[in-house]
Amino acid sequence: MELKVDHTPEEALEQIKNKNYKLRFQGKLAEKKVTVKKILGIGISYERKTKKHNCQVEWL
């Protein structure tokens, strides 16, 4: 999950992909070795002026 202020949820998801956040979760679930097949990426944006947020979710 990545939160961006005054940016888009798509930019947040791009950061998740570019920095390989999913590698931190592959093979781990509550610190036990497991096979993780699907990991969700969640990009959230928040606009300071309007105080609105947007969210985009996709499989990584």
Per-residue pLDDT of the chain (60 residues; tens, 9 = 90+): 999 999 999 999 999 999 988 877 766 556 666 676 788 999 999 999 999 999 999 998
pLDDT of residue 23: 79
Taking a C-beta distance cutoff of 8 angstroms, is the pair 15, 2 a contact? yes
CB 2 within 8 A of CB 21: yes
Name the pTM for this structure. Answer: 0.78
Domain boundaries, the chain: 2-59
Give residue for tokens 């928040």: 46
